[in-house]
Homo-oligomer: A and B are copies of this chain.
Amino acid sequence: MSLSAREPARPRVVVVGGGFAGLQVVRKLRDAAVDVTLVDRQNFHLFQPLVYQVATGALSAAEIAAPLRAVLKRQGNVRVLLAEVSDFDLERRQVVLDHLPNGARGERLEYDTLVVAGGSRYSYFGHDDWRERAPELKSLAGALDIRNRILTAFEAAEVEPDEERRQNWLTFVVVGGGPTGVEMAGQIAELAREALRRDFRQVDTRSARVLLVETADRILTGFPPSLSHKAERALEKLGVTPLVGHTVVDVGSASVAIRSASDEVEDVGAHTVIWAAGVAASPLAAALASAGGLQVDRAGRLTVTANLTLPDHPEVFAIGDMVRIAQSDGTIVTLPGVAPVAMQEGRYVARVIRNRLSDRATKDFRYVDKGNLATIGRSKAVADVKGIRLAGFPAWVTWLVVHLFYLIGFQNRLLVVTRWIFSFLTHGRGARIISQSK
C-alpha cells in the first residue's frame, strides 16, 4: 500500500505535528480543495498551558488531551496518521515514517506541500542525564511522572523518622522561572499548604519548601519588571522561595547543586526536582535543516523565511517553537514559545496555501502580540495585555476565561470547569492518584 493520498488531482498537504501550530493549519484548510494528512506520534492534541495542573493532580490527563481523530472527525479532507517522522526527502517530496502502529517502518508519504511543526522540549543545558532525575514539565507523560513523584514524596515524608531526610522529601525544586515554572511552584505550595494539609497525620505538609530557581535576575522575563516583582511577592506569600540569579549546576538523586549570583554553590537536599527551563527544538528541525542543506542554531532551531518557508523550498513550511524567522529586512527574530505564536503561524500557513491555490500572493508573516498571562495560584495572576498591566484577581479571571476559551472540546471545558469549581471551593485536588509504573 502507498500511504500517500489516493486522489493526486488535489494537492496533497502533509502536516507533521498536531500541536497548536499544526492543528491550526489543518483546521484552517477545512474548506480548501486539498487533501490533508496530519502525522503525529501521539493520538491527541495536548493543551500544553494546563499540563502543570495535571502534574499537581488538579486535572486528569484526558481533560487536557483531545483525541486528534475526534477533533477532526467532521473535516472530510483530513486523515490522521499515527506515526513518527524519521526523515525528509525534499528532492522527491516525501516524508519518511517510522513506528507505524502496525509495526511498519520506513514507509514514505508523498506531499505537494509540507508543513513541519514539531515543537520543542526543555533543554538540560547539555546535561541530558539530568532528565531522568528532573523530569520535564512539558509532555503528558512528564506531567504524570511529576505527579507521581510529588505525591510519593509526601507519602515518604509521612513515614520517614529522620528529621533531615524528611525535610529532603519535603523540598521541591522547580527549575525555570517562566510561566510554567511559576505556575508549578505556586501549585505545589498550595498543595502543601491547603489540599494535603489534613491528609497526613505524622507530617506537617505546611513545612514543605518550594524553591523556584531562575538564572535571570527576575522571574517571568517576558513580562514588564513591575509585574515580575509583583509575581515574586505573590509567590513568597504562597510559601515559594524565588531564587533569581541562581543556576542549577548539578542534579543528584537526593540533592541539587545551585550556584548563586555570587558564584557560591550550595547543595540543597531535595528528592523532587521539576524541570521547566531552556529550549531545545524538536529533532525534526535538525532533520529538516539537514535535508535542506541548512544549519540550526544552538537551541536546535531552523531559520525560515518571512513566509515561514524553507529557503529555496517554497513548498516546505516550518513553524512553531522549532523555528526562528528571518525577516525581509534581514533581522532574525525568535518569537516566544507560546500557543498564540504557534496558532498565528499555523493560520498564516493555511492562508498562504489557500492563496496559492488561487494564485494570490500573501504578505510576510507578522506576529500580533495580544499580551501575556501567567497564573500564580488561587485567585492570583499577572497579565500584560497591550500595555494594560493587571495583577491579582482581575488578571486571574482573565486567565481563566482565556484558557477555557481555547481549551478544545466542549466536554473537556465542562469537566475542567467542574474540577476548578471544586478545587476553588474545597482547596482540594481531585486527580491525586499515584499510577503504577506498569
Interface residues of chain A, those whose CB is within 8 Å of chain B, are: 1, 3, 42-44, 57, 60-63, 65, 67, 69-70, 73-74, 79-83, 100-104, 107, 139-141, 144-145, 151-153, 155-161, 165, 169, 196, 198-202, 409, 411-412, 414-415, 418-419, 422, 428, 430-436, 438
A430–B411 touching, CB < 8 Å: yes
A101–B433 touching, CB < 8 Å: no
B42–A434 touching, CB < 8 Å: yes
Tell me the smallest distance from the CB of A9 to a CB of chain B, in Å.
17
Tell me the smallest distance from the CB of A289 to a CB of chain B, in Å.
26
A42–B436 touching, CB < 8 Å: yes
Tell me the smallest distance from the CB of A256 to a CB of chain B, in Å.
19
Task: Give the chain B neighbours of A419 by CB distance below 8 A.
Answer: 411, 415
| A107 CA / B104 CA spacing, docked (Å) | 49
Tell me the smallest distance from the CB of A53 to a CB of chain B, in Å.
12
| A155 CA / B156 CA spacing, docked (Å) | 40
Residue of B nearest to A81 (CB): B159
Residue of B nearest to A103 (CB): B156
Tell me the smallest distance from the CB of A426 to a CB of chain B, in Å.
8
Residue of B nearest to A2 (CB): B161
B433–A412 touching, CB < 8 Å: no
Chain B CB within 10 Å — which of A44, A83, A161, A411 has the most? A411
B430–A412 touching, CB < 8 Å: yes
Residue of B nearest to A166 (CB): B102
A198–B435 touching, CB < 8 Å: no
* 5 sampled A-B residue pairs with Cβ under 8 A: A44-B434, A57-B62, A65-B433, A67-B199, A69-B200
A102–B60 touching, CB < 8 Å: no
Tell me the smallest distance from the CB of A150 to a CB of chain B, in Å.
12
Q: Which 4 A-B pairs have the closest CB atoms?
A: A1-B161, A62-B431, A60-B62, A69-B199
Known: A161-B1, A435-B61. A73 touches B139 (CB 8 A): no
| A178 CA / B161 CA spacing, docked (Å) | 46
Tell me the smallest distance from the CB of A133 to a CB of chain B, in Å.
14
A67–B432 touching, CB < 8 Å: yes
Known: A42-B436, A141-B436, A428-B70. A104 touches B62 (CB 8 A): no
Residue of B nearest to A142 (CB): B438
A73–B198 touching, CB < 8 Å: yes
| A63 CA / B62 CA spacing, docked (Å) | 10
B101–A152 touching, CB < 8 Å: yes
Task: Give the chain B neighbours of A169 by CB distance below 8 A.
Answer: 102
| A107 CA / B412 CA spacing, docked (Å) | 44
Contact of A62 among B74, B80, B100, B430 (CB under 8 A): B430
Residue of B nearest to A43 (CB): B434
Contact of A155 among B74, B101, B411 (CB under 8 A): B101
Chain B CB within 10 Å — which of A102, A151, A435 has the most? A102
Contact of A139 among B74, B433, B436 (CB under 8 A): B436
B79–A156 touching, CB < 8 Å: no
Tell me the smallest distance from the CB of A40 to a CB of chain B, in Å.
11
Residue of B nearest to A46 (CB): B433
Known: A79-B202, A81-B158, A415-B419. 16 other contacts (CB 8 A): A43-B151, A43-B155, A67-B432, A73-B198, A80-B199, A82-B152, A100-B156, A100-B159, A101-B158, A102-B156, A102-B157, A102-B169, A104-B159, A107-B159, A144-B435, A411-B418
| A141 CA / B435 CA spacing, docked (Å) | 7
B61–A433 touching, CB < 8 Å: yes
